[in-house]
Structure 1
Amino acid sequence: MTVVTFQVQEEQHLERIDKFITSQNEEWSRSQVQGWLKENLVTVNNEQVKSNYKVKTGDEISITIPEAKEYEVLPENIPLEVYYEDSDVIVVNKPRGMVVHPAVGHETGTLVNALMYHCKDLSGINGVLRPGIVHRIDKDTSGLLMVAKNDLAHEKLAEQLKAKTTVRKYIAIVHGVIQHEEGTIDAPIGRDKSDRQSMTVTDENSREAVTHFKVIERFENFTLVECQLETGRTHQIRVHMKYIGHQLAGDPKYGPRKTLDLDGQALHAAILGFQHPRTNEYMEFEAPIPAIMEETLENLRRI
């Protein structure tokens, strides 16, 4: 175990302790820190406190960080919707609600668990928890992902992502009526200083982020859009659409409280195109939007 200590500065006075600790290291999640507090691994001036404690200027916070768990990722017989597969690459349509790879709170039932059962062989570049995973989409975002079955394929596909030559088009339902037919959002994205679990448009510790969009259909209070990624930052489409005032419908993190009942953001990775890592042949795949989004669109058309 490792013990780390922090002292509360004047500008942090009266912050909740779980928020204060999370802000000290972007690798620490709020739920992880709250777990440490429940396990009495955090003290303030050598006294144990609860997660709602508000820190005071000069407080000395000590955290006993437990050793990281070594996960054994096991194959699970979970159905996969496979769009293409050969000895180098597999393209799958990930359903809404499925996490891509194991993490704290999601050790089983992930796409990686399903892939390990289906494929047996996956690239090892990203380690035990993320075998074969070249790019990711959020839990409640559905759609197409390319997965590498060996290290050569992984390197070639990753190079295409870096060079911005892959085609990644998403379908989204957003709040408000977008008046112009298309546009480009070129705004850097970094971690939100006030909420380390969220991303935001910022010039501080940010990375280039570019999203192209075009209107597909307009409704009374919503717009159906196609978003094409030029870069692939965490939550990029969700953050960029919020930035221009058109948050994704159903988005629990970046959207308004009053929204469509979708149990997650209305976002689907519909089109994926790339050069085959061995033959260099261009391949493109398209997956229809999930039923819940189709039903939502039908309801909007009736208004």
Structure 2
Amino acid sequence: SFLNKDRKTKSLQSIFSETVFGKPPAAAGECATPKLLQYAFIHGLEPLAMAEFWWGASPKSEIRKHRQFYPACTGKCQPILKHMLDGIPMDDNPLLQNHGENTTLKIIYEDDSLVVVDKPAELLSVPGIQIQDSVYTRLKTTWGNIEPLIIHRLDMATSGLLVVAKTKEAHKHIQRQFLKRTVIKRYTALLSGLVKQDEGEIRLPLRGDLDNRPRQLVCDTHGKKAVTVWKVVGRQTTTTRIHFWPLTGRTHQLRMHAAHEQGLNAPTVGDDLYGTGAARLHLPAAYLEFVHPKTRETLRFEIKESF
């Protein structure tokens, strides 16, 4: 059983019965934070602050950097900590804050069939569980009776070009182009570290980390195919500027392929999940090319990176 500051106890089974899993996962409660808090409450101590960092080599499947701080895992620790920290004044959870609230959604191109927008960093592509503000909701508010039909998405932290359909016909046509991989998408990234090779291709299968969403894992057994073509376009003293062409569209694909030791082993600057946080993630979707669903004209869009 686990204590909290009011010396109320809860068993693992009771804690996880309130989660979507219904029961505790393997090794739940074995992490350092619940054990340290348990010691504090047993001995009448008051926790003032706590942070966890990784020490040593990274596991093969996930990305952990030596001396880098990481939040508690969502699957095993957070349900326990919700009970143990109950009643203790806490800082606001940054993951539940809408950091894209005061950003501007720029319209790059618009006609009767579609719109191409420049999504700002920290704005969701579609509404989330906690945050509704998104590209979808903003376009819906602007268009009124026209339903925005989302064709593809960008990670919340990723800025750049996004095409949204206005009609079912346009949605179907452009979606087919994505499925056939005839759409050309290019991202520009600033990586922390020097990449020695000039270009290449990364093939690392990915799947979600069930114990620590939204993080992803490299998994040869259950991972989905993930392929990225890359080319170095500039090097500075401690950073590499690179172009990425994702041939598949897995969650966090470029961020994982950049940071993982079997990829480029160079996290994207500003990547607070797989590297070190900064003011923003330096990974804009800078180029987008596809065929217009009505005119059959090839449309090309490019935005200038701000770094």
Q: Same fold (TM over 0.5)?
A: yes
Of the structure 1 ranges 228-237 and 80-89, higher mean CA displacement relative to structure 2 is found in 80-89
More strand by share: 1
Is the 8 Å Cα contact of residues 251 and 265 (structure 1) preserved in structure 2?
Answer: yes
* Whole-angstrom distance in 1 between the partners of 2:208 and 2:167: 32
Is the 8 Å Cα contact of residues 122 and 132 (structure 1) preserved in structure 2?
Answer: no
Code of the aligned partner of 2:205: P
Code of the aligned partner of 1:283: L
Is the 8 Å Cα contact of residues 164 and 230 (structure 1) preserved in structure 2?
Answer: yes
Q: Secondary structure at the match of 1:285?
A: strand
User: Paired residue for 1:12, among 20, 24, 27?
Assistant: 27
Residue 111 of structure 2 is matched in structure 1 by 86
Is the 8 Å Cα contact of residues 121 and 149 (structure 1) preserved in structure 2?
Answer: no
Q: Determine whether 1:278 maps to 2:289.
A: no
Q: Secondary structure at the match of 1:204?
A: coil
Same amino acid, percent of matched pairs: 32
Is the 8 Å Cα contact of residues 291 and 297 (structure 2) preserved in structure 1?
Answer: yes
Residue 171 of structure 1 is matched in structure 2 by 188
Residue 159 of structure 2 is matched in structure 1 by 142
Distance 1:83 1:204, change over 3 A: same
Is the 8 Å Cα contact of residues 121 and 281 (structure 2) preserved in structure 1?
Answer: no
Task: State the Cα distance separating 1:197 from its structure 2 match.
Answer: 2.1
Is the 8 Å Cα contact of residues 103 and 120 (structure 2) preserved in structure 1?
Answer: no
Task: State the Cα distance separating 1:121 from its structure 2 match.
Answer: 4.9
Distance 1:87 1:253, change over 3 A: same
Runs (5+) with no aligned partner, structure 2: 1-17, 35-72, 87-100
User: Paired residue for 2:141, among 113, 117, 141?
Assistant: 117
Matches within 5 A, 1:53-68: none
Runs (5+) with no aligned partner, structure 1: 20-28, 39-48, 53-75, 124-130, 295-303
Provide, for residues 121-175 of structure 1, a one-character-per-residue CA deviation record: whole Å limited to 9, x for no partner.
545xxxxxxx421111122211100001011111111111111110100010001
Is the 8 Å Cα contact of residues 160 and 274 (structure 1) preserved in structure 2?
Answer: yes
Is the 8 Å Cα contact of residues 74 and 211 (structure 2) preserved in structure 1?
Answer: no
Code of the aligned partner of 2:166: K
Task: State the Cα distance separating 1:251 from its structure 2 match.
Answer: 0.4
Distance 1:155 1:37, change over 3 A: farther
Is the 8 Å Cα contact of residues 209 and 233 (structure 1) preserved in structure 2?
Answer: yes
Residue 129 of structure 2 is matched in structure 1 by 104
* Whole-angstrom distance in 2 between the partners of 1:221 and 1:5: 43
Task: State the Cα distance separating 1:118 from its structure 2 match.
Answer: 2.8
Residue 254 of structure 1 is matched in structure 2 by 274
Residue 268 of structure 1 is matched in structure 2 by 284
Code of the aligned partner of 2:143: C
Is the 8 Å Cα contact of residues 78 and 114 (structure 1) preserved in structure 2?
Answer: no
Code of the aligned partner of 2:291: Q
* Whole-angstrom distance in 2 between the partners of 1:185 and 1:220: 24
Task: State the Cα distance separating 1:78 from its structure 2 match.
Answer: 7.9
Is the 8 Å Cα contact of residues 201 and 240 (structure 1) preserved in structure 2?
Answer: no
Task: State the Cα distance separating 1:279 from its structure 2 match.
Answer: 2.4
Q: Secondary structure at the match of 2:187?
A: strand
Q: Determine whether 1:208 maps to 2:237.
A: no
Q: Determine whether 1:180 maps to 2:203.
A: no
Task: State the Cα distance separating 1:50 from its structure 2 match.
Answer: 3.9
Of the structure 1 ranges 224-233 and 200-209, higher mean CA displacement relative to structure 2 is found in 200-209
Distance 1:155 1:143, change over 3 A: same
Distance 1:156 1:104, change over 3 A: same
Task: State the Cα distance separating 1:14 from its structure 2 match.
Answer: 2.8
Distance 1:197 1:5, change over 3 A: closer
Task: State the Cα distance separating 1:280 from its structure 2 match.
Answer: 2.1
* Whole-angstrom distance in 2 between the partners of 1:5 and 1:96: 32
* Whole-angstrom distance in 2 between the partners of 1:6 and 1:113: 33
Matches within 5 A, 1:217-228: 217-228=234-245
Distance 1:246 1:96, change over 3 A: same
Calculate the TM-score normalised by the size of structure 2. Answer: 0.67
- Tell me the number of residue pairs that the alignment of Structure 1 and Structure 2 aligns: 233
Distance 1:168 1:5, change over 3 A: closer
* Whole-angstrom distance in 2 between the partners of 1:95 and 1:4: 32
* Whole-angstrom distance in 2 between the partners of 1:209 and 1:268: 19
